[in-house]
Chains A and B, each alone.
Chain A
Amino acid sequence: MFESKGGVLLIGGLGFFALALVSNALVPVQMYRDLPEQRTEELVNANLMYQFEDLSRRFPESFEKYYGKPTREQAAEALALGRRVYVAEGCWHCHSQYVRPVSNESRRWGAVSATWEYQNELQRPVMFGTRRVGPDLSREGGRRSNDWHAAHFFDPGSVSEGSPMPPYRWFFDGSAQRPNRRGLAIMAYVQWLGSWLESYPYYEAYQPLPRLEDAP
């Protein structure tokens, strides 16, 4: 059996793979089957609408051109596009979207991530992330203004000194004051992150330690 073709193909190839799929994938699927998956339209909340309207006031020409009026439908569309941009540009290779219950992360970023936060269309596949060159973004929404984000996407170093993040000029029509369709969408998406929580916007609940060279 252990050296036969049938054994290798059926037990090793199919059997053990199926065992792992059932125990490691279908079990959590069953456990969470009562948590409904939210569609993008259901994810548009008051916090996101506030930010979306703010975008329409700060960048009136661009907003008018690409989205018209800041309606809920437009917000849902921007959210979906923003998530596509987030994936396509590989943002998730340098930013995570989950706060772990260890390493003081809940003090830095707020509530530890819970399953229900991920039960929506924009988490297909889930954006846990893989590396943190930049900080976690799951509670980033609302912490900074849309102006800040526009300047940051256009030239990260201008507002975040020494940042290794590359500039995303193709989110703009030439200048930081003129974000294009994708630029407005990615800003709406980032402002949405964490907007479903009571603590929105979350600011660090700690005083950063003084940097070593500043210490007496």
Chain B
Amino acid sequence: MTHTAWAEATGSDRDLVDRRLVAWYFVAALVYLGFSLLGGLLMALQLVRANPLQGIELLSPGRWRMIHTNAVAYGFLANSFLGALHWAIPRLTLRPVLSRWFSWFIFAAWQVVVLATAGGILLGHAQGLEWGETPTWIDPLALAGLLLVAVNFLAPITAARGPLYVSSWYFMAAFVWTLLTYAMGNFLPEYFVPGTSGGAIAGLFIHDLVGLFVTPLGWGLMYYFVPILLKKPIWSHGLSLVGFWGLAFFYPLNGIHHFLYTPIPMFLQYGAVIATVAVELVVATVLVNFFGTVWGAGRLALANLPLRWFYTGMVLYFITCFQCALQVTLTFQAVIHFTDWVVGHAHLVMFGVFSMWIFGIMTHLFPRLLDRPWYSNRLAEWHFWASTVGIVVMFTDLGLAGMFQGYYWAALLPWEASVDGSYPFWLVRLLAGLVIIFGQLCFVVNLVATWRNRGHV
């Protein structure tokens, strides 16, 4: 395909979308993904006692584990989402964002926030809250950044006339929720509420960050991209409504399920368990809706790589949620809490679902951003298969490891028995991680080659 043909096929949105900004967001996201993968690799090597960089303060696996999770949440996911939103929202509302200059300012400011967070963690200024490790002095800055993001994107959405499309509901709610969640988690348990009740808030924070920041943006983007790629509307508008409002009502009530059997009042724990099971039912309606949409076009969903990313992510989303409905019960918790089961679950959500959707979006958008097709479809396929095989092996392996660990502990075997017993699982996890890293390398090589391919298409 020639240059002009690409330009025509990609529509006439030059006044709406700042393509360079989208591309820069994606590149920044991939850089942080690289750091995150390195952090994961370091921790995996440490667990199998093969870490070659021991005893160096700035390379401490404990600190890099925090880099690992924070780089994924605030570096990779946040940047990718912002990039994708800069594409989706102007095209959806037919209005540009508030200001182009402002958007670039936000881009730069957010990179400062992410890099400062990483620097702070490495230098030992972390806070003691998962995903809220962001050093205290960065929190107000990050919060201001999130406010600017909300203003910038809410401008075109609120200015749009006529009925709102599903994606807009998710986006609007996500901007409000992310802001509130960040403020709640980073200030209340740190400055105002100690101990157990602070723990309840920490639970809300951990959970809402996935449920009210990552999930609504992810689903909002799926509601946007899937119908476009399938060239057919979403199957049921009614189910879209059920999905959104069910998520909005039940998801925020789940937080305490992260701390079952703690001294947090038991009736609140029961409440969180019930709300969680309710969320899984809601999720089922969303999945039914998306599989209803693809019904009859299954072949296309397999042949088209971005669609395959999306639907693989959705299958894994179903597995995640099914896992969650089981593991949230007190029966399961007694065994699997504090084990690698939970680690496997977290990887399945963050990599198996949302990263997959992002890779699908990037695979779809980069040719449109750069006005040229992918350098190599084979590398793109390798990216998909290595990621899929890697994550499936990893979460299966960690889930099994978790059950072994849980029963070792309950059986009152010496602690070392659970460590020795975990060793083979940790080895498999390391290998699965290397496969995932290999997949991402394929993507980066492909991207660099595509980028340099300027001129001869």
Contact A8 B253 (CB under 8 A): no
Contacts of B340 in A (CB 8 A): 131
CB interface residues, A 66-114, toward B, < 8 Å: 85-94, 96, 98, 100-105, 107-108, 113-114
Known: A115-B263, A209-B411. A163 touches B419 (CB 8 A): yes
- The answer to the question of A53 belonging to the interface, with a C-beta cut-off of 8 Å to chain B, is no
Stretch in contact with the other chain, from A42-50, A143-151, A165-173, A187-195: A165-173
* A94→B339 CA distance, assembly (Å): 10
Contacts of A166 in B (CB 8 A): 46, 51, 54-55, 60-62
A38 nearest in chain B by CB position: B194
Contacts of B177 in A (CB 8 A): 13, 17
**Closest Cβ–Cβ distance, residue B174 to chain A (whole Å):** 9
A10 nearest in chain B by CB position: B176
- The answer to the question of B37 belonging to the interface, with a C-beta cut-off of 8 Å to chain A, is no
Q: Give a binary string over B368-409; 1 marks a CB under 8 Å from any A CB, 0 the rest.
A: 000000000000000000000000000000000000011001
Known: A103-B335, A123-B194. A113 touches B172 (CB 8 A): no
Contact B334 A102 (CB under 8 A): yes
- The answer to the question of A130 belonging to the interface, with a C-beta cut-off of 8 Å to chain B, is yes
**Closest Cβ–Cβ distance, residue B236 to chain A (whole Å):** 14
* A101→B36 CA distance, assembly (Å): 36
Contact A93 B62 (CB under 8 A): yes
- The answer to the question of A215 belonging to the interface, with a C-beta cut-off of 8 Å to chain B, is no
* A196→B418 CA distance, assembly (Å): 29
Contact B172 A5 (CB under 8 A): yes
**Closest Cβ–Cβ distance, residue A127 to chain B (whole Å):** 6
- The answer to the question of A164 belonging to the interface, with a C-beta cut-off of 8 Å to chain B, is yes
* A8→B6 CA distance, assembly (Å): 37
CB interface residues, B 312-345, toward A, < 8 Å: 333-335, 337-340, 342-343
* A97→B273 CA distance, assembly (Å): 22
Known: A93-B65, A119-B194. A24 touches B263 (CB 8 A): no
* A164→B188 CA distance, assembly (Å): 34
Contacts of B430 in A (CB 8 A): none
Which of A89, A92, A168, A206 gathers the greatest number of chain B CB atoms within 10 Å?
A89
* A112→B61 CA distance, assembly (Å): 30
Known: A20-B255, A24-B204, A124-B190. A88 touches B124 (CB 8 A): yes
Known: A88-B124, A89-B60. A119 touches B195 (CB 8 A): yes
Contact B412 A21 (CB under 8 A): no
Contact B342 A131 (CB under 8 A): yes
Contact B47 A164 (CB under 8 A): yes
Which residue of A3, A100, A126, A163 is within 8 Å of B196 (Cβ)?
A: A126
- The answer to the question of A159 belonging to the interface, with a C-beta cut-off of 8 Å to chain B, is no
* A112→B166 CA distance, assembly (Å): 47
Q: Give a binary string over B33-51; 1 marks a CB under 8 Å from any A CB, 0 the rest.
A: 0000000000000111101
**Closest Cβ–Cβ distance, residue B61 to chain A (whole Å):** 5
Contact A100 B261 (CB under 8 A): yes
Contacts of B420 in A (CB 8 A): 162
A4 nearest in chain B by CB position: B164
Contacts of A31 in B (CB 8 A): 197, 265
Contact A127 B128 (CB under 8 A): yes
Known: A27-B265, A118-B196. A12 touches B62 (CB 8 A): no
**Closest Cβ–Cβ distance, residue B426 to chain A (whole Å):** 8
A206 nearest in chain B by CB position: B412
Q: Give a binary string over B262-284; 1 marks a CB under 8 Å from any A CB, 0 the rest.
A: 11110010011000000000000
Which residue of B127, B173, B256, B338 is within 8 Å of A96 (Cβ)?
A: B338
Contacts of B255 in A (CB 8 A): 20, 24
**Closest Cβ–Cβ distance, residue A201 to chain B (whole Å):** 17
A88 nearest in chain B by CB position: B124
Contacts of A216 in B (CB 8 A): none
Contact B195 A126 (CB under 8 A): yes
* A68→B71 CA distance, assembly (Å): 41
Contacts of A17 in B (CB 8 A): 176-177, 180-181, 208, 212, 252
A20 nearest in chain B by CB position: B252
Stretch in contact with the other chain, from B101-109, B240-248, B302-310: B240-248
Contacts of A90 in B (CB 8 A): 60, 62-63, 65-66, 126
Contacts of A2 in B (CB 8 A): 241, 245
Known: A28-B268, A123-B198. A21 touches B204 (CB 8 A): yes
- The answer to the question of A56 belonging to the interface, with a C-beta cut-off of 8 Å to chain B, is no
CB interface residues, B 141-198, toward A, < 8 Å: 157-158, 163-164, 168-169, 172-173, 175-177, 180-181, 184, 188-191, 193-198
Which residue of B66, B194, B204, B343 is within 8 Å of A131 (Cβ)?
A: B343
B212 nearest in chain A by CB position: A17
Which residue of A125, A161, A167, A168 is within 8 Å of B199 (Cβ)?
A: A125
- The answer to the question of B296 belonging to the interface, with a C-beta cut-off of 8 Å to chain A, is no
- The answer to the question of A132 belonging to the interface, with a C-beta cut-off of 8 Å to chain B, is yes
Contact A24 B253 (CB under 8 A): yes
- The answer to the question of B125 belonging to the interface, with a C-beta cut-off of 8 Å to chain A, is yes
CB interface residues, A 37-65, toward B, < 8 Å: 37
Q: Give a binary string over A186-216; 1 marks a CB under 8 Å from any B CB, 0 the rest.
A: 0000000000000000000010110100000
Known contacts A87-B128, A107-B412, A125-B132, then 8 further A-B pairs from the complex at CB < 8 Å, ordered by chain A residue: A13-B177, A14-B176, A25-B184, A28-B196, A98-B263, A128-B262, A135-B415, A162-B49
14 chain-A/chain-B pairs, Cβ below 8 angstroms: A8-B164, A13-B180, A19-B253, A20-B204, A93-B66, A94-B62, A103-B334, A118-B195, A118-B196, A119-B195, A131-B342, A134-B415, A135-B415, A208-B413
- Which residues does B use to contact A, with CB under 8 Å? 46-49, 51, 54-55, 57, 60-63, 65-66, 124-130, 132, 157-158, 163-164, 168-169, 172-173, 175-177, 180-181, 184, 188-191, 193-204, 208, 212, 241, 244-245, 248-249, 252-253, 255-256, 259, 261-265, 268, 271-272, 333-335, 337-340, 342-343, 405-406, 409-417, 419-420
Q: Which 7 pairs from chain A and chain B are nearest by CB?
A: A13-B176, A20-B252, A118-B195, A90-B62, A88-B124, A125-B189, A28-B197
